[in-house]
Amino acid sequence: MTKKAHSRVRKVVLAYSGGLDTSVILKWLQDVYGCEVVTFTADIGQGEELEPARRKARRFGIEQIFVEDLKEEFVRDFVFPMFRANALYEGEYLLGTSIARPLIAQRLVEIARKTGADAIAHGATGKGNDQVRFELGAYALMPDVKIIAPWREWDLTSREKLLRYADEHGIPVDFKKRKGGAPYSMDANLLHISYEGGVLEDPDYEPEESMWRITVSPEKAPNRPEYVQLTYEQGDIVALDGKRMTPATVLATLNRLGGKHGIGRLDMVENRYVGMKSRGCYETPGGTIMLKAHRAMESITLDREVLALKDDLMPRYARLVYSGYWFSPERRLLQTLIDESQRPVNGTVRLKLYKGTVMTVGRASQTDSLFDPAIVTFEEDYGAYNQADAGGFIKLNALRMRIAAQRRKANGPANPKRRTRR
């Protein structure tokens, strides 16, 4: 491999994990583009030690190394706004990978500006969604940035070729990677863990129990339920069981509780934005609890038609997040509407966690509840609701159907002549 002729890239910021792929990319950028490389490693709750990435980068002469704890920013500015929308992609997926990518793209651009870099690079393949998410985000924030996606350029198209390149250039490789590693790929952050590829490429293959990392199986979950109370302010959780917590601490605590009770596993076949179907398995214990609780909180604090409008818009919002349009004007516009709807979403929700299930057992709002016991009661309401009003209401709503029925009656029974074959 030789340096690209007339390459105008002077400095590139690489989204760097320190794993096999991005370690090879780091050296490949130096060899092929002949440019200075800046590394950026984000801690968004993946649960891995990040200092080895810093040491690896230094080994290859990297002078500007950014290793950042972004967990609070991730949950506060990305996860929580998405959960205000109750977003689910294709009715099931809680968008754990999708929502992390715009934050990484944002920091890549910010670091590029800070260091004077004119390009960014990532390790996403040309078959997946992540390349779209990283690049749409980067272009939205830095329209003239050059993006280098090695998987769309190089000829290192197999694990064997990557390992050979690593050996030739003295890149240290984890023993498990050399032996093939896990029979699937993983991606983790504070919201979820995803598993795909390898043995999971057969959609009829049931993954082994040992694959799941943060949830026990429902069969092995405790035999006694556990209760938890969530406190909401304007649509966001601010306390658990009365104890105020930061956004990241809320999610980490709910992950622990949900995982303990076997909550949040998902096995689905989804439609990737690039056009193919993909089978993925996900663990999202805290997010599963959050979705259930948020809908319960909205059920007593939001107007019926506001709820209906949010539900109508949710699939569109979820597709925007899934497909990488977090920084698009349409997502921002939808977010403004959603956030405005959350002003009255204040109060508490009590949940029962038991063997893979989340059940709402109580919800209350001292200031914003639209639930009026005086009206809804089956007992004496002392004139709070005039039941006689319902007759005219029903008759008016039936008017169009009554007119159509009268027309059918006047025209007689339908008896269309059958066409005969000649």
- Joined together, the tokens standing for residue 249 give 């601490």
- Other Cβ atoms less than 10 A from the Cβ of 161: the count is 13
H helices of 155-284, in order, are 159-168, 175-178, 247-260
Q: CA-CA distance, 72 to 237, in Å (whole number)?
A: 13
Amino acid letter, 93? Y
The pair phi, psi for residue 286, each rounded to 5°, is -65, -40
Query: Cα separation of 46 and 191, whole Å?
Result: 9
Contact call for residues 226 and 111 (beta carbons, < 8 A): no
Residue for token digits 């309401």?
381
Q: Which residues are catalytic?
A: 21, 101, 130, 185
> How many Å apart are CA 29 and CA 115, to the nearest integer?
17
Q: Which of 96, 124, 117, 91 is nearest to 25 (CA)?
A: 124
Instruction: Map residue 262 onto helix, strand or coil.
Output: coil
DSSP 139-178: HHH-TT-EEE-GGGT-S--SHHHHHHHHHHTT----HHHH
Q: Is 385 helix (H, G, I), strand (E, B) or coil?
A: coil
Q: Which residues contact 309 (CB under 8 A, 6 or more apart)?
A: none
CA distance 80 to 96: 12
* Dihedral over Cα of 251, 253, 255, 257: its sign: negative
Instruction: Dihedral sign for Cα 113, 119, 121, 125, please.
Output: positive
- 279 closest CA partner among 199, 209, 183, 200: 200
Spatial distance between the Cα atoms of 245 and 251, rounded to a whole number of angstroms: 10
For residue 253, the SS3 value is helix
Pull the structure tokens for residue 95.
Answer: 């968008």
Asked whether the beta carbons of 282 and 265 are under 8 A apart, the reply is: yes
